[in-house]
Amino acid sequence: MNMMLLLVIYAVAIVGYVVFSRRRQAKAQEDRFAGLAKGAEVETIGGLIAIVDEIDKENNRIVLDAEGVFLTFDLSRSIMKVITPAPSTETAETVKETIVEEDSAIESADEK
């Protein structure tokens, strides 16, 4: 009886360890892809540092732009970490507005 109880406790411990280990791995992968979007700077498992150009979650593919060279990778196995998250839309709009204002200032200075 004691031996059977010991085996049941051991089996439950192993199953619990496996379940919690998988949850921890899933959480780690979710954290790794938190800032992953078009425009984010990433590092692949091979050491390539590039900018995300396109993410195709349906086919599990990611296209990276490495200085004008577009490379396609498997999404779930290729990205080691996100170095710089994708710029938010507010930041991108602010940058566009700043560029437009600077261009307008240059044009008005040229007109004088």
What residues contact 57, with CB distance under 8 A and at least 6 apart? 75
CATH code, 66: 2.30.30
Residue 22 covered by a domain: no
Q: What is the pLDDT of residue 9?
A: 93
Residue 77 covered by a domain: yes
Q: What is the pLDDT of residue 89?
A: 55
Q: What is the pLDDT of residue 19?
A: 94
Q: How far apart are CA 87 and CA 65, in angstroms?
A: 16
Q: How far apart are CA 37 and CA 58, in angstroms?
A: 15
Residue 23 covered by a domain: no
**The total number of structural domains that make up the chain:** 1
Q: What is the pLDDT of residue 26?
A: 87
Residue 1 covered by a domain: no
Task: Provide the residue-wise pLDDT of the chain in tens; the chain has 112 residues.
Answer: 788 899 999 999 999 999 999 999 888 877 777 778 888 899 998 889 999 999 888 888 999 998 889 999 988 888 888 888 877 655 445 444 545 455 555 555 555 5
